Amino acid sequence: MTESEFTQQIDELIMSIEDALDELEMDIDYESSAGILTIILPNKSQVIISRQIAAMQLWLAAKSGGFHFNYDPEKGWLDERSGEAFIDALNRCLTEQAGEPVALELE
């Protein structure tokens, strides 16, 4: 994957996450800038998603830790340590921090 393809893919993923957050009935805010999406939960805790161009990775920062995802053309973004899919990790972290179930569905 080229740097341009990587950047475009992450930008599309972030837009998809923003759309999914807008669909929730929960009061979750977000801010997006330069490949970084900060999700602000009702309790003011944050989950941050960012692209790391040099490593060609997608990073997720939450209270439970930092997670680095590599792209698999067949399976999508997978955690480099556990193999967990990005959306599963994101929903898990959001649920843990919000104290109630959060289930984003990405298109």
Q: Which residues pair with residue 71 across a beta bridge?
A: 77
Residues 13-34: what's their mean pLDDT?
93
Residues 29-82 have pLDDT tens digits of 999 998 899 999 999 999 999 999 999 999 999 999 999 999 999 999 999 999
Domains plus CATH for the chain? 3-98 (3.30.920.10)
| Residue 47 backbone dihedrals phi, psi, to 5 degrees | -125, 130
Q: Which one, of 64, 82, 84, 76, lies nearest residue 106 by Cα?
A: 76
The span from the CA of 66 to the CA of 73, in Å, is 23
Cα–Cα distance for residue pair 89/77, rounded to 1 Å: 10
What pTM, to 2 d.p., does this model score? 0.93
H helix or E strand, kind and range, residue 52: strand 46-52
